[in-house]
Amino acid sequence: METSFLPTARPLPAFQTLAAAPRCPRPLRRSTIRAAISRGRKEDTVAAVREQLEGCYLLAGIRYEGLTVKQFQGIRDALPESCHLLVAKNTLVGKAIEGTPWEALKPCMKGMNAWLFVHTEEVPAALKPYRAFQKDERVEETNDFIGAVFEGKYYQPGDFKSLETMPSRAEVYSKLLGALNGPATGLVTTLQAPARDVVAVLSAYVRKLEEEAGAGAA
């Protein structure tokens, strides 16, 4: 009788050390991602406001609540190229204007607002398109200007008439030239005009002399 032998199984070791699997970095939580994106957007907005403040002559706030996207785009299209309309949170605008002459606008930092940056000395022409929009859309009472800063001075909504009726530089310059060519009483009357008008005329005259001097040197 043949006897068959089964192969002896190898004994298992008492213990076996397994190589530790590499740890995967813990995924960022969605809330963390949202916070980072939100912080980045806020910083971009503050930077955009500060960029618009460069070379800005007037900054005005407009009540934005209740306006549609189509209406807002219509306002933008009607504005001169020297103006820019921006919708931003009051806190971000407030942060951008801290420590600047525009900080006088702080009393306007309430509700939903749009901000009009005027990069031209021709202030009345810059404000006129929005006045026309108010009349056409019948929103004079609900979506009016809430305030503005011009030459470091704060203007309340009731003070806007003085901004909207300011003479243009060309008008003041023409008035001064007419006074110089006319009787002495005309010159005296012109010099008694508001200081802002006289400064505007003198500034324009200085720029004219500088341009003529530069052209002659060339």
Which residues are paired to 209 by β-bridges?
A: none
Residue 25's pLDDT is 57
Q: Are 115 and 62 in contact (CB under 8 A)?
A: yes
pTM of the model: 0.64
CA distances from 117 to 28, 45, 72, 87, 168 (A): 39, 14, 15, 11, 18
Rounded Cα distance, 60 and 75, in Å: 14
The three-state secondary structure class of 39 is helix
Please provide the size of the chain in residues. 218
Using the Cα atoms of residue 165, residue 79, residue 55 and residue 117 in order, give the sign of their dihedral. Answer: positive
Q: What is the pLDDT of residues 97-128, one digit of tens each?
A: 999 999 999 989 999 999 999 999 899 999 99
- Report d(CA 111, CA 109) in Å as an integer: 7
Distance CA 17, CA 92 (A): 58
Cα 208 to Cα 211: distance, rounded to the nearest angstrom: 5
Sheet harboring 145-150: ordered strands across? 83-87, 113-118, 58-63, 145-150, 153-155
Collect the ranges in the chain with pLDDT lower than 50: 1-9, 11-18, 33, 36-37, 187
Check residue 166 and give its pLDDT: 84
User: Burial letters for 64-78: b for 16+ Cβ neighbours within 10 Å, e otherwise?
Assistant: beebeeebbeebeee
Determine the Cα–Cα distance for residues 116 and 132; give it in Å rounded to an integer: 15
